[in-house]
Chain A
Amino acid sequence: MSRPVLDVRDLKKIYGEGEATVHALRGVSLTVERGDYVAIMGSSGSGKSTLMNILGALDVPSSGAYLLDGVDVSRLADRQLALARNRLIGFIFQAFNLIPRTSAVANVELPLAYAGVKPRERRRRAMAALDLVGLADRARHEPNQLSGGQQQRVAVARALVTEPALLLADEPTGNLDTRSTEDVLTVFDELNAAGRTIVLITHEPEVGDRTKRLIRLVDGRIVHDARQAPVTV
């Protein structure tokens, strides 16, 4: 067995000070193997997004260790972190986080630009990714001209366009109807079948059921961790 993609040990995250202190994570330990497909569920405020942001190297834990592909993330310099975020991880935000007044296709192109892909190739791949989420006809629209669900799908396309080995998705289907949810999940299934690792957060049981492993968070602790299907690489 190769080393795990994600390996977190006794992760704690404390927000604020004094009276206003919030223990968002109270010691989470977790390993995720290459090719796994994990769903994280839990009530609102249980620390799912907090955990996801740390896994995406966007935030740092208050204590505990995080090894990404065997490398201690806390030891990485800015340039190496940028490289990891760009090449290794595809991140879908709960709040979409598209760049305002910038067309959908330009938003999707952005990670490719930072990866040094040539403009023509960039445009081709961005259009392909938008096509994959069914938004090829909205490529020229700016975020404020798109519905919530459409913005979410642009965010999905942006995370997929670099073909990352690790896809971290914070409620990627939260704003989607059943049909769009089905489309996005089909894309995820195919990516996972191709050997990519996926971790997603969801409130919908039917989404959780399609994954290979289900984790439940309560109050910043893992209370349930069940394998639903074997990892095949």
Chain B
Amino acid sequence: MTFYEIVRFALRGLSANKLRSALTMLGILIGVAAVILLVAVGNGSAKAISDRIEALGTNTITVMSTGRGGSTSTAITKEMADALADPVLAPDVRSVSPVVSAAATVTYEGTDHDVNSFVGTTPGWFTASNTPVGRGAAFTADDEAQGRRVVVIGSTVAEELFPGVDPIDQQVTVGGALFTVVGVLDEKSSTGFQDANDTAIAPLTAVRQVLTGYGSLTSILVEAAAPDQVDAVQSQVSAILNQKMSVADGSTTTPYRIQNASQLLETQTETADTFTTLLGAVAAISLLVGGIGITNIMLVTVTERTREIGIRKALGAPRRTILTQFLIEATLLSVLGGALGVAAALIGSSFEIVGVKPVIVPSSVGLALGVSIAIGLFFGGLPAGRAARLRPIDALRYE
């Protein structure tokens, strides 16, 4: 009997038991698709996080105070920010943006809106923090120097206060003072808990005058000339700050903290990897459950199939032919089911799932396919192998 004929026998065997074949395939399909999709969702959210951090700009560092404000010894001041813009001591710094920020209520014609972070800074902040202005324009260095009350608002603020109205050149009230809207920020994707678009940016001088007063800064955003100079910038900034805040040489504690976007990226990526692993574990369990389902279906039919094997042996089928036929059946089922599962996962990954765009991990495809095929072969092949070794009459009597 030729191999081709055995394949035809296997196909006939599958089509003779359509429901069982379909159920087995469905089990494998769901298992494979679940693994691939869940891992893709985990991977997708990890990617979204790192994209967002990269959007913050990986060539910047942020200097923040470790104190809780008030105490003068830990405060970061405007003078320190000015000292950082020093072409001799800090040659790799491109720009320095002092930042103050506070929650504020913005009012326009009787409509109130609470802005999470009302930021006061210098014009260089827009490029350094990778926050382009969509409509209108950013304020200028001159606005900042003159302390003009102008403001650039985030898209959420624009939608809340100016539904159907062009916000440019409108006047809003913040902290009892009138600010003129000069621009609206481009919409930013926000996957975190805070709405990145619920913000407003105004000149540092104006914000200090109206909202925060002339105390310490919230942070200083320092931009390096190139991404690979971030580390150099960090040590130059530390040196200047240590001197300014009179930190002793070799002291392990500093009154300030430097946040490095690429370091942040690393820790966030680690967290995201843990998340992906967790989802992968859930997916693996679903594959296992799918596998148990397959096993169940196959065991239920073992009696019938064992009898069939008995008949085939009685009619003169050698053990090898029977084994080949049943292994081909099991292989076809699991390979087909697996392939359909991959297809389902590919289709599913083109949609957003719980706000995350899934990104397929190639190795998860291989793993899911491998495991499902192994399960199919093992549980399809094992009973067949055992039955093929029985004497025909014992196989026929099997119950």
Contact = CB atoms under 8 A, between A and B. Distances in A.
Interface string A41-79: 000000000000100101110000000000000000011
A158 B5 CA distance: 19
B312 A110 contact: yes
A129 to B, nearest CB: 13
Interface in A129-169: 158
Contact of A58 (B16, B312, B317, B391): B391
Contact of A97 (B9, B311, B316): B311
A114 B321 contact: yes
B232 to A, nearest CB: 77
A87 B316 contact: yes
Contact of B316 (A60, A86, A100, A119): A86
Interface residues of B, number: 27
Nearest to A106: B12
A91 B317 CA distance: 14
A110 B391 contact: no
A78 B5 contact: no
B314 A78 contact: no
A56 B392 CA distance: 10
B391 A85 contact: no
Interface string B309-337: 01111111111110000000000000000
A58 B12 CA distance: 26
Nearest to A82: B318
A123 to B, nearest CB: 13
Interface string A88-103: 0001010001111110
A53 B319 CA distance: 19
A194 interface: no
B318 A78 contact: yes
A115 interface: yes
Given A58-B392, A59-B391, A101-B17, A78 B319 contact: yes
Given A58-B314, A97-B314, A106-B12, 7 more contacts: A59-B393, A83-B316, A87-B316, A99-B312, A101-B17, A102-B16, A114-B1
28 contacts: A58-B314, A58-B391, A58-B396, A59-B394, A60-B391, A79-B320, A82-B313, A82-B317, A83-B316, A85-B313, A85-B315, A86-B315, A93-B314, A97-B311, A97-B396, A99-B308, A99-B312, A110-B315, A111-B315, A111-B316, A113-B1, A113-B5, A113-B9, A114-B1, A114-B317, A114-B321, A116-B1, A119-B5
Which 4 A/B pairs are nearest by Cβ-Cβ distance? A86-B316, A82-B318, A59-B393, A101-B16
